[in-house]
């Protein structure tokens, strides 16, 4: 599948905006989604100031989801259910939805280094429960530093473990390849997202202990 465009729900947040900027830089048309259209428009202008040649537009979340076959959800866990409910009737049939949500306690006022159990198994599986039948759900981009992604002139080195259905992974592979130096890693079915999502909390703790803000992961022994 060749990606015509990508909608980033939560595209005004740190991770969502950084991902949108990277894909825009790679030449992929981007739709920035926000609960408020005005905030989406503001983020669009900010991105265009950084990348004047980018193809980007801002929309309210529902309209953003309706405008693309590839939808990336990068929102705090506390907003996950309300966001998925708000876009469920707008998602195109057979769309690939990529969830980057992390169930860390910080989203509900706790510690960023603590995670909590999700009754569906993972944030991605919980999101899928609110999506229309036929939605292809994947889980990815949890192990990337938003700070490092935002530095558009520098490569982001590391692996991106991706969980979900095979046809969805092919799309996520394209998104990963569009960001210099990242490597796509097939991490199995969506059920494995419950293992991958908490890695973010581990990385946050490493950042704190080592005085950095860009810890990531790389797997050894895999074929290139």
Q: Could you tell me the CATH number of the domain that includes residue 176?
A: 3.40.50.720
Once rounded to an integer, what is the mean pLDDT over residues 150-176? 95
Q: Looking at the domain assignment, is residue 219 inside a domain?
A: no
Range of the structural domain that residue 102 is part of:
6-210
Q: Looking at the domain assignment, is residue 188 inside a domain?
A: yes
- Other beta carbons within 10 angstroms of residue 205's beta carbon come to 15
- Asked whether residue 108 carries a pLDDT value surpassing 70, the answer given is no
CA dist list (Å): 17 to 64, 147, 210: 14, 11, 25
pLDDT digits (tens, 9 = 90+) for 114-138: 466 666 779 999 999 999 999 999 9
The label of the residue with tokens 């309210």 reads 60
Q: Looking at the domain assignment, is residue 49 inside a domain?
A: yes
Q: Looking at the domain assignment, is residue 216 inside a domain?
A: no
Please give the model's pTM, rounded to 2 decimal places: 0.93
Dist. CA 83–CA 176, nearest whole Å: 24
Q: Looking at the domain assignment, is residue 221 inside a domain?
A: no
pLDDT digits (tens, 9 = 90+) for 197-222: 988 888 888 888 999 988 999 999 99
Q: Looking at the domain assignment, is residue 217 inside a domain?
A: no
Confidence of residue 177 (pLDDT cuts 50, 70, 90): very high
DSSP per position, 48-87: HHH-TT--EEEEEHHHHHHT-SEEEE---GGGHHHHHHHH
How many domains does the chain contain in total?
Answer: 1
């Amino acid at each position: 599948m060749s990606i015509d465009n990508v909608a980033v729900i939560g595209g005004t947040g740190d991770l969502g905006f950084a991902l949108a900027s990277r894909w825009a830089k790679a030449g992929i048309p981007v739709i920035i989604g926000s609960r408020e259209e005005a905030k989406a428009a503001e983020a669009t202008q900010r991105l265009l100031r950084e990348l004047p040649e980018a193809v980007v537009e801002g929309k309210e979340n529902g309209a953003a989801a309706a405008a693309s076959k590839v939808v990336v959800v990068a929102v705090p866990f506390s907003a996950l259910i309300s966001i998925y409910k708000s876009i469920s009737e707008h998602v195109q049939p057979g769309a690939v939805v990529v969830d980057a949500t992390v169930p860390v306690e910080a989203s509900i006022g706790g510690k960023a280094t603590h995670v909590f159990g999700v009754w569906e198994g993972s944030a991605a599986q919980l999101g899928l429960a609110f999506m229309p039948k036929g939605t292809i759900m994947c889980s990815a981009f949890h192990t990337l530093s938003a700070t490092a992604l935002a530095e558009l002139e520098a490569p982001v080195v590391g692996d991106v473990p991706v969980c979900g259905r095979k046809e969805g992974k092919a799309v996520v592979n394209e998104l990963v390849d569009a960001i210099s130096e990242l490597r796509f890693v097939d991490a199995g079915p969506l059920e494995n997202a419950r293992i991958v999502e908490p890695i973010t909390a581990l990385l946050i703790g490493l950042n704190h202990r080592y005085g950095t803000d860009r810890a990531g992961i790389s797997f050894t022994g895999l074929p290139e």
